[in-house]
Amino acid sequence: MADFYQGGVITTLHNLTERPTEALEAELTRFAHRKPMTLILPSLYSELQGPALAHIVDELTHATYIDEIVVGLDRADADDFAHARQFFGRLPQRVRILWQDGPRLRALDEQLAEEGLAPRREGKGRNVWYCLGYVASANRARAIALHDCDIITYSRQLVARLFYPVANPNFGFEFCKGYYARVTDDSLGGRATRLFVQPLVRSLQKILGDIDYLRFLDSFRYPLSGEFSMRSELIEALRIPSDWGLEIGMLSEVYRNTASRQVCQVDIADNYDHKHQDLGDGERRGGLSRMSYEIANSLFRRLGTEGIPMDQSLFRALKACYYREALDMLERYEADARINGLRLDRHNEEGAIEIFSRSIIDAGAQYMENPMGVPFISNWSRVFSAIPEFTQQLLAAVEADNA
């Protein structure tokens, strides 16, 4: 499905040909001499028991250009950790597992908490943050990639295409975001991006005008994808949220720390399917309801740091504008689905829009009550400055766990 259109303020790297994975990997093997590569896999222990991660590991055994694989393991006891070491043990790369619930890393977390530097919430953001800290401490990688562990349709071409833009020494990209079409055999997915983030960003543009940050976000085809890569120089500068706002928060930090010409997005899969989130409820206990609320919180906090004044009248106008924009967007996606013979449940989609619109009001009220909201996790530059010996302590803890 060739598409060479360049839109927005970042570079888009399309999948225009059926280039063999082996050809990409041959180039990456040459790049690896100058740009050693580390792959981060943030994982819940429960994902080791599903079909997706076992297949991912099988595929990665052939990606020998990758020097190291760092696994962030959450919700695992001692027996689970021992099983994880065996599970990932067949990989030919150097493998280090960060046992997030183990006594050594918990002790380090308590040390950071005493300095006010520890992540305040459990979740993927915390997991990723510690993995990035380990990679920065080890200082072996020059190119880092990360992808989720629940990708049912995974092939090793995904990780090859994800690494390529930042590993190629002839490119000037510091950060790369993966994108793909969320299409299953019979339906259109990706509701949080299609029906929430995209119409919300465009509604903000209508109300606030031409703001560089919003144009930057609107340039990404799939801003909520869990796949990205970057050069190692960027790690210590990033401040990321620990909640569902991780992906938007990450893009916000990339916007703050790099130039748009150093950012790209790459098509990494023709077919991508992973664990689907349910809609959740109005109490924000989980699902897309909670996700949309926390994404809106992250977005509003970032706009506040850009000097944008926000009050109740803005949030009321934003809800009305969003609702109309989202319904218009739904009509576009419905037509797109129909011509491709895909199923789209209009009633269900409009129900999602109604929940998302309430998320805007609730997140706006939370912002007005406490503009700081849930703070970003401190960046690693601050941690290493506050506790110079933490680098060696983190490396020692991970090595002791993996010995």
Torsion of CA 340, 346, 350, 355, to 10 degrees: -80
Query: For residue 215, how far is the Cα from the chain centroid?
Result: 19
> pTM for the whole thing?
0.94
Pairwise CA distance, residues 361 & 359, whole Å = 6
Task: List the structure tokens of 14.
Answer: 């399309």
Among candidate residues 238, 277, 283, 284, the one with its CA nearest the CA of residue 257: 238
What count of other Cβ atoms lies within 10 Å of the Cβ of residue 94? 14
Convert the pLDDT of each residue in 245-260 to its tens digit: 788 989 999 999 999 9
Mean pLDDT of the chain: 92
Mean pLDDT of 156-185: 94
Contact predicate 75/45, CB 8 Å: yes
List the beta bridge partners of residue 160.
none
| 113: phi then psi, degrees, rounded to nearest 5 | -65, -35
Residue 255: how many other CB atoms lie within 10 Å: 19
- Dist. CA 194–CA 288, nearest whole Å: 12
pLDDT tens-place string over residues 32-54 = 999 999 999 999 999 999 999 99
- H/E stretch holding 229 reads strand 228-231
Rounded distance between C-alpha atoms, residue 265 and residue 13, angstroms:
6
- Return the pLDDT at 287: 79
CATH number of 11-402: 3.90.550.10
Domain ranges of the chain: 11-402
| 129 has a pLDDT exceeding 90 | yes
pLDDT digits (tens, 9 = 90+) for 326-383: 999 999 999 999 999 999 999 999 999 999 999 999 999 999 988 766 567 899 999 9
